[in-house]
Structure formats: structure tokens, C-alpha cells
Amino acid sequence: MFRFLLVLFVLVPTTTYCGLRILWAVYRNTPEAALCICHECPRAWARRLLRWAASDVVFENEQVIDPDRPQILVANHSSWFDILALTAHMPGRTLFVAKQELAKIPVFGRAAQACGHIFIDRYDRNRAVDSLAAARKILEEDSPTVIMFPEGTRSATGELMRFKKGAFVLAIQTGVDVVPVAISGSREILRKGSLMVHPGTIRVRFGEPISVEGLDLDHRNELTDRAHAALVALGVPDGLTDSNQQ
């Protein structure tokens, strides 16, 4: 509990400062300056929180990420520290696709939207489709790495849950490679529903990109299954047993 309070003590002022700095840059400065702030400030924010939580991050096979090409990164999700690990160390421009509820957090939500991160309303299909269309436009025009958690929420057990298809529809529509990413160790630092923060090491293991060349929307289920299998092969425990697949 002491470490959680320590992190919280750092989280609020750091997030507020970073958010206000981003908003000022976006609305007052040139687009180039705003883009720089949107890249550097979140990285510094995430690294500071990881340092105060006594948590290290190790990347494996990160050379598959090409900062000069658009890619869609799909990762398992069992802790808020997944986001910190990726924010702190991903090369190039990265954008998250996240649930709409995060956009409502004061300062943080406005700053994230100002930097181009995409928020999806999980309970309104039409608005979700519009959000994915916005992500498609960004991929085609700006060539970022778009990060998505296809499980749609954090896994309480650490086992890989069923994937939603939005990331894979987006990949087929844009012709962008899908990069599977297995994150381990973050759940031991902070579990879903817990306030206890423990020191530890987060390992982020990148798999080989999955090409969507020759695929159309009729292949979206096949692509979803391939990405799920790739994360399992990278070491994420598979939660889709025979009993719950039926």
C-alpha cells in the first residue's frame, strides 16, 4: 500500500503537468512543436511513474518495429502498467486506441485526444465504427504505430481472452502489418482490481509481423485467430479452453 500511495503522490501532479503542457503546445504552438511535445512528454511521464514504482522494462525483438512504416501492434492486457511500458519505450510515433471512459479523465483525456489518440465507445457500435475510421485515416496519412488491446479490457487472470475484431478489420482495410506483442510481468506489479503496487520487471516480446497482403474482410476471423495464436506462441497463457469456446 505504501508504494501505491507513493506512485499516486507522483501520478496526480505529473499527469496534470504533462497534460497541461501538451494542451498548451497543441493549441498555442506550431504543429511541429505540438507533435514533438506529444512524443516526448508522455514518454517522460511513463518513465517517471515506472521509476517511482521500481519497475524495469525489457524489450525483446523490438527491431521488428519500423518507425517509418505504419503498423498495428496488438498486445495482451492485464495491467495499467502495460500502457506505461509501451509509452515509455516504443520507438517512433505511437498512438493508442483505448476505451472511451479514459477520455473523461480530467486533463489526461483532453491531452490524449489532442495528441491524436483514438477512443472507442464500446457500447455504441456506430460511434465505434467512426472511431476506427478515424484511426484508418491517421494510419494512411501519418504512418504511426497504432497500439490496440484486442481483448477490450484487462484480463483478471492474466490468461489471454477472446479477441475483438476491430484491430484486424482496420489492418485489412489499410493493408498494414499486424505485430503481435506479448507483455509479461506487469500483472505482478499491479493486478486488475488491486491497489497494491509491487516492484518488478515487465518484458515486452515482439513477434514477427503478420502480413495482410491478399486478405479481404472475409478473412478477418482468420487474421484474428492467427494473431491470437501468435501471442500464445510468444508465451501468453491461453484462456480459451475447449469448454468456453463452445
CB 222 within 8 A of CB 140: no
pLDDT at 30: 67
Give how far the C-alpha of residue 182 lies from the chain's centroid of Cα atoms, to the nearest Å. Answer: 12
Domain ranges (residues) in the chain: 56-239
Q: Is CATH 3.40.140.10 the right assignment for the domain spanning 56-239?
A: no
Q: What is the pLDDT of residues 115-166, one digit of tens each?
A: 889 998 878 888 888 888 888 898 888 889 999 999 999 999 999 999 999 9
Q: Average pLDDT, whole number, for the chain?
A: 90
Average pLDDT over residues 39-46: 92
Q: What is the pLDDT of residues 56-80, one digit of tens each?
A: 999 999 999 998 899 999 999 999 9
pLDDT at 241: 60
Q: What is the pLDDT of residues 198-211, one digit of tens each?
A: 999 999 999 999 99
This prediction has a pTM of 0.89
pLDDT at 4: 65
pLDDT at 243: 40
Could you tell me which of 149, 91, 93 has the C-alpha nearest to residue 119? Answer: 149
DSSP letters spanning 74-89: EE--SSTHHHHHHHHH
CA pair distance 171, 220, nearest whole angstrom: 9
pLDDT at 7: 65
Q: Which residue has the cell 457500447?
A: 123
Q: With a cut of 80, say whether residue 45 has pLDDT above it.
A: yes
In eight-state DSSP terms, residue 53 is T
Question: Which positions ≥6 away from 64 have C-beta within 8 Å?
Answer: 179, 206, 207, 208, 209
Q: What percent of the chain shows pLDDT beyond 70?
A: 93
